Chains A and B, each alone.
Chain A
Amino acid sequence: MSNLSIRLKKRDHIPTIKALALRLAAIIFALIICSFVIISITHMNPVQIYGGVINGAIGTSRRAWVTIRDMLVLFLVAAGLVPAFKMKFWNIGAEGQILMGGLASAALMIYGSSLPNWLLLFFSIAASCIAGMVWAVIPAFFKAKYNTNETLFTLMMNYVAMQIITFCIVFWENPPGSNTVGVINSVTEKGWFPAIFGLKYGLNLILVVIVAVSITLYLKYTKHGYELTVVGESQDTARYAGIAVKKVIIRTMSLSGAVCGFAGNLIVSGASHTISTSLAGGRGFTAIIVAWMAEFNTWAMAAFATLLVFMENGAIQIASQFSLNENVSEILTGIIIFFLIGSEFFINYEVVLEKKEVL
């Protein structure tokens, strides 16, 4: 008698093309599975639904720019997380750092509206960076000094940030009694990102590209980047080489927090011009997936952020067009991410079928 047994073999090398093909196959496979889900739940033609997604994400130039704007934020946060993750500092507090950055930015828009616009913009960017930095340095300090668990610490800082915003909304609510802040400086547009080259989100694009390129260069070519890689690899090695480990932890987290804080500014000054507890909208967590899925490669992070935002914005469209719940799109995004993560397994392992004689 013989039977087939499945065995997993670790691959030692896979060509880039093959890895890309596997990921692409995963997406296609995910879309097929999604069709079945769509048919079984909504009894609608999946091709129509996908058409709706594409239409919603890039159907008009306005929609396309919204997709680009949201993708930029997600990409920026992911890029900001990379230095921390390279140092093996599990910063899951990007959400809180974004919130604090957004809060600082809103505060300046409200209280600094007498300043000239360029100066106000400069201050609000600086203030949101500092706010994000402070929110990241607190857990970093305790990690360096008392070796506290950074995962729990950064996570809890998120909730603190959320409560602070709730608190501020009480003071800033407009119109009174609405329990929301409303659009700040809607008439004067003070503290708003100006349109440049006739593009509403042109400044967002330029700033994000500058920051992302700087981070990439920082990690690759500077002494600081070298040090944080060594610390992430082994703290013993870092100590042996005379690297001040505590200093590197605090410094790297300041950078990571500042970038996330800047993302908060991008959301408030550069897009929504208002503030609420949901301004980060989980992007601080989604960015973790983006960073890891891309294995910290800048290009791959941009691509992955685009995919996720594309699906998300497309979903809003199908929700209204086919009067579906918005959660349908979350199901679809979930399925796609599931398959993409699953494809990593097949990139690392090879499945071998073998015939085995059994007595």
Chain B
Amino acid sequence: MEETYAIELKNITKRFGSVTANNKINLAVKKYEILSILGENGSGKTTLMNILSGIYRPDEGTIFIDGKEVTIHSPKDAYAFKIGMIHQHYKLVNVLTAAENIILGQPGAPVLDMEQVKKEINSICSQYGFILNLDQKIYDMSVSQKQTVEIVKVLYRGADILILDEPTAVLTPQEIKSLFSVLRNMREAGKSIIIITHKLQEVLDISDRVVVLRKGSYIDSVNTVDATISVLTEMMVGEKINLDINRSEPHDQQDRLIVQHLTCRNKEGLKALDNVSFCAKSGEILGIAGIAGSGMKELLESIAGIQSIEEGSICYCCSNCNKITISGLTPNEIKHKDVSISFVPEDRLGMGLVGSMGVTGNVMLKSYQTGVSPFVNRWFPRRLAEKIISMLQVSTPGTEFPVRKLSGGNVQKVLVGREISSDPGVLMVAYPVRGLDINSSYTIYNQLNAEKEKGVAVISVIEDLDVILELCDRILVLNNGHITGIRDARNTTKEEIGLLMTADGDHMHE
């Protein structure tokens, strides 16, 4: 006999121009079930979820809810069918309280009885084990608290099917644990939960079943008890790949970059870094961990000369010369001092590259000024572009094809390729593999390791704690602009790093 699913998708197809984002996808979720949708970037996960939540309409295929065929025209329809989506980027009003955000957009009674509303919300919270202060304003909340508000909001609206898009991307290990326990409570209460993710370990931890998508197509669905990381990876990528990062022992280490008492303010005038001191050594990868907004961006930009410094100094030591103070200099002045610092910023297309230009135009971004001729020389950059394309296997139709139209992985390869090509003494990389598929990620890891072995001081901000522990030699943890610890990556744990990331930041003022 056929089981009735809470929601069932049959042969869903969605095209954008010549791109087929979803190709005949089948998917079904039962009640009392947590389903993971696993796939690399561009595999069509998010498109599929946007179809479910009424943002897109499928070109073909049908959707059944509780066995009945339905058409979801808008997000409003989705709510009527009790589908609730928790987006990766939260959609909350900063100046309102948690309770106000939760009831926002609900018709409600003609006269608002806030006490009654709060009572209702509190009963939802206690039922599933959420910890939430309803009178707290959103701007006072941490990322995980905001996420809690989003989930409670969806539950308050009566959703029975919850879709979470990359819910763990910005959470610490401790926060992930409590999120998972809440999700399990919701499952016990008969909800259907769909989690979109590309983190394999979490898939195994939380879900009952996994659906794997690849390049817009449905590959297979497996029960989690029968799955292993290597099986899932193979399904996701379509081939067997080696998931080990070969970390070599550092040798011939010298102090390369000495940062002392660095203090600076961000654009809003708040202290982003407060008295930060550390030393990056040649031949090592120094990982930087911290929850979003802890000062990682400002730290790297200060070293690169883009962020103005309030106090403190940054010194560069090359192998056969004295210390050169680079704090307070512009990127150009740093370059003229023969200091080679490469920087792969977080915002690749907004800061590191020029989207409308091809690989050639981007490769020359930092070198076009050489020479006295008023004309740019494109001959050497084009040779270099060809070299980077073949060395890092960038897939692009040509050296002049706008990089904006390349996939995230290829964009990052172009950027990393350019930064490595200048033979840097220090290589800074912010979120080296964010948004990249597995193959590209490993290409980047290998490049970072190769640079380290060449004797470069590599500094990298990494959000995935599993990766930071495997890739780096030392880990520096930032919390609210302070260094809360520097640990040897070989002798620490995910939990320890997680605690340092969230350690009480009360000593942060202003």
Contacts and interface: CB of A to CB of B under 8 A. Distances in A.
B379 interface: no
A222 B17 contact: no
B352 interface: yes
Interface in B444-498: none
A220 to B, nearest CB: 9
A237 B351 contact: yes
Contact of A240 (B17, B306, B376): B306
Interface residues of B, number: 31
Dominant SS among interface residues on chain A: helix
A146 interface: no
Interface stretch (A91-99, A183-191, A223-231, A250-258): A223-231
Contacts, number: 65
B345 interface: yes
Contact of A223 (B19, B330, B332, B375): B375
A138 to B, nearest CB: 26
Interface stretch (B98-106, B157-165, B200-208, B362-370): B362-370
Contact of B355 (A222, A224, A226, A233): A233
Contacts of B376: 221-223, 225-226
Nearest to A226: B376
A242 interface: yes
A236 interface: yes
B375 A222 contact: yes
A255 to B, nearest CB: 13
Given A240-B306, A242-B330, A230 B343 contact: no
A241 B374 contact: no
Contact of B18 (A12, A225, A242): A12
B416 to A, nearest CB: 15
Contacts of A225: 376
Contacts of A9: 17
A50 B349 CA distance: 50
Contacts of B193: none
A226 B366 CA distance: 12
A66 B16 CA distance: 49
A62 interface: no
Contacts of A234: 349-351, 354-355
Interface in B319-351: 330-332, 335, 343, 345, 347, 349-351
Nearest to A11: B17
B374 A237 contact: no
B366 A242 contact: yes
Interface in A221-280: 221-226, 229-230, 233-234, 236-237, 239-242, 244
Contacts of B351: 234, 236-237, 240
Contacts of A223: 368-369, 374-376
A240 B354 contact: no
B304 interface: yes
B356 interface: yes
B406 interface: no
Contacts of A239: 306, 331
A236 B331 CA distance: 12
B389 interface: no
Nearest to B364: A226
Given A12-B17, A223-B376, A242-B332, A233 B354 contact: yes
Interface in A75-121: none
Interface of B: 16-19, 304, 306, 330-332, 335, 343, 345, 347, 349-357, 361, 364-366, 368-369, 374-376
Given A226-B364, A237-B365, A241-B331, 13 more contacts: A223-B375, A223-B376, A226-B361, A229-B354, A229-B357, A234-B351, A236-B351, A240-B331, A240-B343, A240-B345, A242-B330, A242-B331, A242-B369
8 contacts: A12-B17, A222-B375, A222-B376, A223-B376, A229-B356, A236-B347, A237-B353, A242-B331
